[in-house]
Amino acid sequence: MKQVQEIENQIAELAYRLQVLKDELEQIRKTCVHEFIKDTYTQTCAKCNLTESLYY
């Protein structure tokens, strides 16, 4: 089943790419000087789009 192997390879590649992008995003958010815009229950950074809940 060559097709199955190809799909599995693609999934592995995409999973790797996803991890790279997540790390990249985390890095951006780590260094961001947040400018939060408050909503009713959350606040969202205008620069990096990080959303935090105001109530736990």
Residues near Zn ion (CB under 5 A) are 32, 34, 45, 47-48, 50
Return the closest-CA partner of residue 32 out of 44, 20, 42, 41.
44
Minimum CB separation of residue 12 from Zn ion in Å reads 31
Closest CB to Zn ion among residues 2, 30: 30
Tokens describing residue 41: 């229950």
Instruction: List the beta bridge partners of residue 54.
Output: none
Minimum CB separation of residue 44 from Zn ion in Å reads 9
Closest CB to Zn ion among residues 6, 39: 39
Give the C-alpha separation, 26 to 4, whole Å.
33
